[in-house]
Amino acid sequence: MIGIVDYGMGNLYSLSRALIRLEESYFISDHAEKLDEADGLILPGVGAFKDAMALLNEKKLTGFLRSYARERPLMGICLGMQLLFDESEEGSLTRGLALLPGRVVRFSGTAENGESYKVPHIGWNTLDFSKPDSPLLQNLNPDYAYFVHSYYAVTDRPSILIASADYHGLVPAVVGNGLVFGTQFHPEKSGGFGQALLNNYLRFVRNVPRSESIADSGGDA
């Protein structure tokens, strides 16, 4: 059973439809006690980092998600992936879930040769696999994925980089460490490749032994 974290800034319809196509049981909730029933969580997100963290704190989900990810799988999508990092410069410097090392920064809009480029990064882009043996990339080949974002993650820990895209520089596209994964692109909008990646995450969730309840183990932030 997959839980989708509903904190008010996620594109829940397309993700729900993707899980239905994969014949996966799921539920949507913004309550830690209910989300704690899930074998794995998906954290979607569309919008601003600062607003998203404010809502997670308000709903008392920040500490819960940090604790949950120590015991069971958590996957962030788009803004949800960015929330997994230490902090973001969007708006003002804001602390994230700090499950992955790094900072979220804005595309500069100016290439090294001085030419301007379009921000946000919107559309299909090819992926380069850094860790093809990752559970998320099992039996997959590098393909196109659909991106919509103005900010991207910067990290000094190359070990968390699973796949990347090139948009006037390296853009972490799939990241992960332990039970925590994230995709900067939208797998639910990335055709057959995205469906296969989501299915790999579901398979990973099913293979992780279920731990004890942790709903009361985390603080608000």
User: Alpha-carbon Rg of the chain, whole angstroms?
Assistant: 16
The token duo for 139 is 């039996």
* Among 43, 85, 99, CA closest to 218: 99
The residue annotated as part of the active site, out of 90, 121, 149, 188, is: 188
* Catalytic residue check, 188: yes
CA–CA distance, 105 with 87 (Å, rounded to integer): 9
Given this model, what pLDDT does residue 211 score?
60
112 a catalytic residue = no
Band the pLDDT of 10: cuts 50, 70, 90: confident
Q: In what order do the strands lie in the sheet with 100-106?
A: 94-95, 85-88, 100-106, 151-154
pLDDT over 90 (residue 209): no
Domains of the chain: 2-102+116-206 (3.40.50.880)
Q: Measure the CA–CA gap between 148 and 165, rounded to whole angstroms.
A: 13
Q: What sign for the dihedral angle of Cα 76, 77, 83, 84?
A: positive
Q: Which helix (H) or strand (E) holds 125?
A: strand 121-126
Q: What does the angle CA 200 – CA 158 – CA 197 come to, to the nearest 5 degrees?
A: 15
* pTM for the full predicted model: 0.93
Instruction: Tell me if residue 78 is catalytic.
Output: yes
pLDDT score at 11: 80
> According to the model, what pLDDT value does residue 2 have?
98
Catalytic residue among 90, 121, 149, 186: 186
Calculate what percentage of the chain has a pLDDT beyond 90: 92
Q: Are strands 128-129 and 161-166 parallel, antiparallel or unpaired?
A: antiparallel
Bridge partners (DSSP) listed for residue 78: none
